[in-house]
Structure 1
Amino acid sequence: MSTPIARPRVSLPRPTPVQRLGLLLGSIAFVVPLLVEIPGLEPAGHRMLAIFLLAILLWVTEAIPLYATAMLVILLQVLMLSDQALVGGVGPLPSAASYFAALANPVIILFLGGFLIADGAHKFGLDRSLAAVMLRPFAGNARSSVLGLMAITALLSMFVSNTATAATMFAVVIPILAALPAGPARTGVALSIPVAANVGGIGTPVGSPPNAIALGALEASGQGVSFVGWMLLAVPLMLVVLLFAWWFLTRRYIAADTPLTLQLSADFDHSPAAILFYVIAGATVLLWLTEPFHGISSSTVGFLPVVALLATQVMGADDIRRLQWPVLWLVAGGIALGAGIGNSGLDAWLVGLVAWDALPLTILLLLLVGVSVGLSTVISNSATANLLVPLALSLAIGLPIDPTAVGVMVALACALAMALPISTPPNAVAYATGEVPTREMVVSGIAIGGFGALLLALVMPTLWGVLGLL
């Protein structure tokens, strides 16, 4: 007689009161536009408004996982707003394939390549070894050492997930924190990592999910931005905010005579697989940076390392499983949401609710950036970008500003929200070390994020125009 195999019990997570409320309010918000006639809104717009309100409430309350909401958006659009809709009567509709195509949008392919390179850099220890080498010129003085930590963190975050970058840099910083006496200096050093990771992530299209969401929405509206084009728009802001953040953190927390010893041991992997990875990753970054010369799109370039690394068996099935698929699906859901808002006419109706053209452009940009930063502080910056980018692009039509600038501004503003442990994954990593009190994270996040938001709203559009970038 065989003994039954004992299987571990799988239990469902218990929803919190906020999540229960989100499910209830989301359900009500979904049903109301389907039952109530809204003046000026077409039938397709009613259905899209139901989906949009449901997505807002589920994302804000995290009643279900963020990526699950993104997938639900695509499913509901197929069932309600496509040629396979369960109930018709709303006029000609896009094909279901057009909504499913969001799962393989060029922006998703771009991020897939970026994630695989980031995973490989961690697998072969390249990220940590590069950090150790690049930190050597900054050793000796506490404030200059923190500048080095922040510069390297920001640089890595431009091409590697800011979450992975923060985790890698804390592996370097933890021994430094242990050697420092308890006090402000430890807080300042610990804060420098998430701040630099958040700010560095705005520098390239693969730096953070909001960038990808904005890229997808811009491409869908015919306002595509190249890899280098994004960098030209974002890197000047990144550098100024990073320098301000270093100045603020060192003046507030780190005295000039604070002793600080960096652990600078680099151990590059010289195995054939590692060397092949270095070549493929380096070639990919070079192709991204030279896109204007060879004309190969950044998404196509992003797919090259996926094929090359898997075909040469430098990376395999286990590496693919470790990729951040939930983030990719979240981005895909945002792309589909933006397409649905445009296809249904909901964007024009929402924009028409307010006389935006009566507001001075400066006030309008401040409001847009402020809402983006504020909402991203309390919910996922990816969810914020999913909700605001399509609306911002619709709002920009007819205003004296390039729609590309508006889409980029929302994405960059989302990255500047860093005042709470829940605001960004790097903040959560820093908080988990126990070295960063919430109060200090709030103070530094408001100061640095506020400075960046003002710069983004008041200075960057003019600078972009003067430089002829838009």
Structure 2
Amino acid sequence: MSEPRRPATYRTFDEVKETLSPAEQRFERGRRTIGLFAGPVIGIVTYLLCAPLDEPAQRLAGLLAWVVVYWISEAIPIPVTAMAAMAATIMMDIAGAEEVFGAFGNSTIFVFIGGFIIAEAMRKHGLDRRFAFGILSLPGVARSTTRIIIAFGAITALLSGFVSNTATAAMMMPIAAGIVGFLASALSRDAEEEVDPQRLHFATALMLMVAYGASIGGLLTPVGSPPNLIGRAYLEEELDIIVPFFQWMVLAFPLVIVMFAVLCLLLVRLNRPEVKRVEGVDGYIKEERDKLGRMGAGGRNTLIAFGVAVTLWIFPGAVGLVTGGESSFYDATLSRLDEGAVAIVAASLLFLLPTNWSERSFTLTWNDATKIDWGTIILFGSGITLGGLLSSTGLAATMGTSLSDLLGASQLLSITILATVIAVIISETTSNTASVVVVAPIAAQLALAVDVNPAVPVLAAIFGASFGFMLPVSTPPNAIVYGTGMVPITKMVRSGIVFDLVGIVIIVTGVTAMASLLGIG
């Protein structure tokens, strides 16, 4: 099996220009160039405007403004900006080196590393293709283009719940492209003229389903999306609010189901496929599935490691349901089965379980592990640091109070709506990680200032940060499918506006209701 192209999610202009039209190239060049020079100017202006603040908060405000401009414009790769920001906080005497770099000792960092290694094993041993073609082979699925689109969304959302949404989109995109290519060939035969797969409504719907399904499914568990882990770490470290893995799933499950149902309904209506049915698609899917052959030792070993990780992640929450959250057994289970430790143990199994013992061949090699998305891990560590500094310097409290006075947000519902809307807007223009880094501390301080439960607006901001549907830069899954050339920017914007608005309503109502029901905060 040939390896699919592995798209980078943090690319320079030189790396992306070949996939862009001349107009898009001009826009990208201008965006990055303007951002390169505007960043320091806006940072200095912000610093001067924040003169009434304490010196550390004033410096952080200027630095954060500069960083956000660079994140939005991608003047330099986003992880590089994140690293430079961490160094700058030390050199500007905002915080000490131990406090700044201590974020990389956070347990959640190792949840990411372990999860990415497991995802790499899935890709290497073809579990992504095996799972996808297995679902698509179910009776009746391949007979309808609409069912294929919905099935792809279900596959992507489910995988994204336990594997990073970026990795999921990267794994599913080549499979979707293969089906689009087959459909285009079939239509070309019927029409007796060449059909461009990049102009098919079916292709647009399928690719958007991969991107949006990954973002929606990523909400299901803490490990599904970087904002989940960053926001959850903020809740635990700054607000002393612990949301166990299992409780998170119970909270997010209704939101994911409702949003996915809306996605299936609206996406097909907005991008209606050219035909309802194409003969031979089921044969193509069967042929691709047969190429995979029987599952080898590598695939079985990966399933074992994945099963160990998910079971041990869920176990403490299940214990809490049985024994109660105040029991000593629950406390011991929660502390000993730390999610970072579980992720590393599960990932380590991949280097221990052999695929051919006589040749000392194992499921993964260290060379495989080096291929994981280290840029996101760097960005994550930076996010923890900046989020903590926003609170410790008092900058988040000042921003929260100012927003409250300006907009009159003084009730839990209005604060939750505000946090969600701001998170979605920021996520549309920069990385979803950057969105939660900025919005979560402000939302928390807004809530604390008026003595309401801060967990609700923070959780809403976390979920809202993953709901950037309008632009390629909004989320890595969007960037991945846009790079195929099958998603016109106008259709992404049109579909994205609808899902952003619907998503805000679902997040606000769902998080408020479920957090109250589960007693979070």
Could you tell me how far 1:291 is from its partner in structure 2?
A: 2.6
Say which SS state the counterpart of residue 407 (structure 1) adopts: helix
Which amino acid in structure 1 is aligned with residue 125 of structure 2? Answer: F
What percentage of aligned pairs have identical amino acids?
A: 29
Of Structure 1 and Structure 2, which has the larger fraction of its residues in helix? 2
Q: In structure 2, what is the Cα distance between the partners aligned to 1:434 and 1:95? A: 46
Which amino acid in structure 1 is aligned with residue 166 of structure 2? Answer: T
In structure 2, relative to structure 1, the CA distance for the partners of 1:31 and 1:206 (3 Å cut) is: same
2:50, 2:61 within 8 Å by CA — same for their partners in 1? no
Q: In structure 1, what is the Cα distance between the partners aligned to 2:441 and 2:380? A: 13
Aligned to 2:39: 26
Could you tell me how far 1:367 is from its partner in structure 2?
A: 2.5
Aligned to 1:342: 391
1:281, 1:305 within 8 Å by CA — same for their partners in 2? yes
In structure 2, relative to structure 1, the CA distance for the partners of 1:276 and 1:466 (3 Å cut) is: closer
Say which SS state the counterpart of residue 397 (structure 1) adopts: helix
Say which SS state the counterpart of residue 322 (structure 1) adopts: coil
| Cα-to-partner distance string for 1:215-273 (whole Å, 9 max, x where unaligned) | 22122212232222222222211111111111112334148843372414163664444
Larger CA deviation: 300-309 vs 110-119: 300-309
Q: In structure 1, what is the Cα distance between the partners aligned to 2:56 and 2:296? A: 57
Larger CA deviation: 408-417 vs 177-186: 177-186
Q: In structure 2, what is the Cα distance between the partners aligned to 1:35 and 1:428? A: 35
Is the aligned partner of 1:239 residue 2:280? no
Is the aligned partner of 1:163 residue 2:185? no
2:13, 2:29 within 8 Å by CA — same for their partners in 1? no
Aligned to 2:447: 396
| Cα-to-partner distance string for 1:22-41 (whole Å, 9 max, x where unaligned) | 343332344456667722x2
Q: In structure 1, what is the Cα distance between the partners aligned to 2:496 and 2:48? A: 43
In structure 2, relative to structure 1, the CA distance for the partners of 1:393 and 1:37 (3 Å cut) is: closer
1:377, 1:420 within 8 Å by CA — same for their partners in 2? yes
1:125, 1:269 within 8 Å by CA — same for their partners in 2? no
Which amino acid in structure 2 is aligned with residue 458 of structure 1? Answer: T
In structure 2, relative to structure 1, the CA distance for the partners of 1:256 and 1:37 (3 Å cut) is: closer
In structure 2, relative to structure 1, the CA distance for the partners of 1:149 and 1:47 (3 Å cut) is: same
In structure 2, relative to structure 1, the CA distance for the partners of 1:223 and 1:468 (3 Å cut) is: closer
Which amino acid in structure 2 is aligned with residue 22 of structure 1? Answer: G
User: Please, which of 205, 217, 226 is the counterpart of residue 244 of structure 2?
Assistant: 226
Aligned to 2:106: 105
Could you tell me how far 1:201 is from its partner in structure 2?
A: 1.3
Could you tell me how far 1:151 is from its partner in structure 2?
A: 0.7
| Cα-to-partner distance string for 1:403-456 (whole Å, 9 max, x where unaligned) | 222222112112111112232222223223333222222221111222111111
2:470, 2:492 within 8 Å by CA — same for their partners in 1? yes
User: Please, which of 495, 498, 514 is the counterpart of residue 447 of structure 1?
Assistant: 498
User: Please, which of 386, 389, 411 is the counterpart of residue 462 of structure 2?
Assistant: 411
User: Please, which of 148, 152, 169 is the counterpart of residue 151 of structure 2?
Assistant: 148
Q: In structure 2, what is the Cα distance between the partners aligned to 1:80 and 1:122? A: 42
What are the within-5 Å matches in structure 2 for residues 422-461 of structure 1?
422-461=473-512
Aligned to 2:301: 276
Q: In structure 2, what is the Cα distance between the partners aligned to 1:178 and 1:274? A: 27
| Cα-to-partner distance string for 1:328-373 (whole Å, 9 max, x where unaligned) | 0001111100111222222222223243594254333223212211
Which amino acid in structure 2 is aligned with residue 54 of structure 1? Answer: W
Could you tell me how far 1:18 is from its partner in structure 2?
A: 3.6
Larger CA deviation: 303-312 vs 413-422: 303-312
1:135, 1:152 within 8 Å by CA — same for their partners in 2? no
Q: In structure 1, what is the Cα distance between the partners aligned to 2:207 and 2:60? A: 44
2:455, 2:520 within 8 Å by CA — same for their partners in 1? no
Aligned to 2:277: 258
In structure 2, relative to structure 1, the CA distance for the partners of 1:256 and 1:459 (3 Å cut) is: farther
Which amino acid in structure 2 is aligned with residue 285 of structure 1? Answer: V
Q: In structure 1, what is the Cα distance between the partners aligned to 2:311 and 2:57? A: 44
Larger CA deviation: 274-283 vs 65-74: 274-283
2:246, 2:314 within 8 Å by CA — same for their partners in 1? yes
Say which SS state the counterpart of residue 433 (structure 1) adopts: coil
Aligned residues: 447
User: Please, which of 413, 418, 421 is the counterpart of residue 370 of structure 1?
Assistant: 421
Say which SS state the counterpart of residue 502 (structure 2) adopts: helix
Say which SS state the counterpart of residue 449 (structure 2) adopts: coil
Q: In structure 2, what is the Cα distance between the partners aligned to 1:345 and 1:414? A: 23
Q: In structure 2, what is the Cα distance between the partners aligned to 1:268 and 1:287? A: 31
2:415, 2:446 within 8 Å by CA — same for their partners in 1? no
Which amino acid in structure 2 is aligned with residue 289 of structure 1? Answer: I
In structure 2, relative to structure 1, the CA distance for the partners of 1:268 and 1:70 (3 Å cut) is: farther
1:185, 1:258 within 8 Å by CA — same for their partners in 2? no
Larger CA deviation: 157-166 vs 236-245: 157-166
Point out where structure 2 has 5 or more consecutive residues left out of the alignment.
1-11, 15-27, 188-194, 320-332, 354-361
Q: In structure 2, what is the Cα distance between the partners aligned to 1:350 and 1:469? A: 25
